[in-house]
Amino acid sequence: MFGFLGPNGAGKSTAIRLLLGFARPTRGRAFVFGTAAEDVERAHRLLAHVPADVAPWPHLTGAETLDLLAATSHHTDLRYRAELVDRFDFDPSKKGRTYSTGNRQKVALIAAFATRAPLLVLDEPTSGLDPLMEREFRRAVEDARDNGQTVFLCSHQLAEVEAVCGRVGILRAGRLIEVADVGDLRGLRRSVVTVTCAGQGPDLAGVEGVTGLERVGSTGLRFTLTGPPGPALRALAAADVTGIAVREPGLEEIFLDYYGETGP
């Protein structure tokens, strides 16, 4: 399970297009299990792909699209495909043009998982799915892992990659800046906390896990919290806190924070 992380415009989809032979490299080469990426006939027997933006044929129903893809794929497990149709609660009788974003994504996910290909290249596969379907997606990924398949999951959501992947690569401005185990990236996980207090407010300078402390207006404080929240909460408990908001920062913010403006 390999997560491919990067902010918008980092070049994740371009890298995938190179890997699939859709785009031609100006320099260098790409290989899929030792097969050159441009040898599509052989390389694509080894992989299945879910694009970020799925555009099924508008005049084909979901079932017909799945049949077409099964006919052109190297192998499709039809029984597993029927099971996936059920699990993803997908109605295959409707025409492509009537499907919502989530349903279009389901067509591609079902077709890709049903191939049982050794490598699944998934490009932002859950961006249109509701939480229930996201759970089904994670189940399908786990099935693939148990089956010995490799999943290459491209995302800009840290949480999704953390939940599914063992190893992570981070792409920034077209360069792979880090490849590490997910555990090693715990340092990336952080929250942005904003508190408002009656009166002076607590002194958080030097509290463990608190960085980037700044004042917001006359009664507010904002800081970034890394690691266990206990010490910061204890410090806050002493003050008269009237409001608290905690949010997950975006990947871009994390990267800026973690690597600085110019990167490592």
Partner 1 sequence: MIGLVIRQIWRGALIIAVAAGTVSALVAAGHREFIAGTGTGDFAALAGDPAIRIMFGEPVALDDPGGFTVWRTGASLAVLVSAWALLTATRITRGEEEARRWDLLLTGPITLPKLVARHIAVLVTAACVPGMAAYVALSAMGTGQRGAALHGAGIALVGAFFAVVGVFAAQMFPSRAGATGAAVAVLGVGFGLRMAADASVSWLHWSSPFGLLALTRSFASDRPWPLFVLAFTAGVVAVATLAVAGRRDLHNGLSAPRGGRPAQRRLLSSPGAFAVRCMVPSWCGWAVGLGAYYLVMGLLTGSVTGFLADNPRFADLAADAGFTALGSSEGLAATLFSLLAVPAGAFAAVRIATVAAAESQGRFTLTLATPVTRARLLVAETGAALGGVLALLTVVGSAAWAGTLSGDTPIAWASALAGAWNTVPIVLLSLGFAVVALGWAPGAVTGIGLLPGAGGFLLFVVARSVDAPAWITGVSPFGHLAAVPREPVDVGGALGMAAIAAVAAIAGWMGLRRRDLRM
Residues that bind partner 1 (CB under 8 A): 17, 20-24, 40-42, 44-45, 47-49, 51, 53-59, 61, 63-65, 67-69, 71-74, 91-95, 97-98, 108, 111, 121
Residue 73 phi/psi, 5-degree rounding, is -80, 160
Residue 21 or 202 with smaller CB distance to partner 1? 21
Closest distance of CB 138 from partner 1, Å:
22
C-alpha separations of 171 from 18, 30, 141, 179, 189 in Å: 15, 16, 22, 9, 17
Closest distance of CB 87 from partner 1, Å:
19
Q: Which two tokens stand for residue 63?
A: 């079932």
Closest distance of CB 77 from partner 1, Å:
15
Closest distance of CB 2 from partner 1, Å:
18
Which residues partner with 150 through β-bridges?
119
Residue 94 or 139 with smaller CB distance to partner 1? 94
DSSP strands (E only) in the chain: 2-5, 31-32, 35-36, 47-50, 119-123, 150-155, 167-172, 175-181, 190-197, 210-216, 220-226, 241-247
Closest distance of CB 14 from partner 1, Å:
10
Residue 92 or 202 with smaller CB distance to partner 1? 92
Residue 101 or 242 with smaller CB distance to partner 1? 101
Q: Which residues of 88-107 are buried (b: 16+ CB within 10 A; e: fewer)?
A: bebebeeebeebeebbbbbb
Residue 19 or 232 with smaller CB distance to partner 1? 19
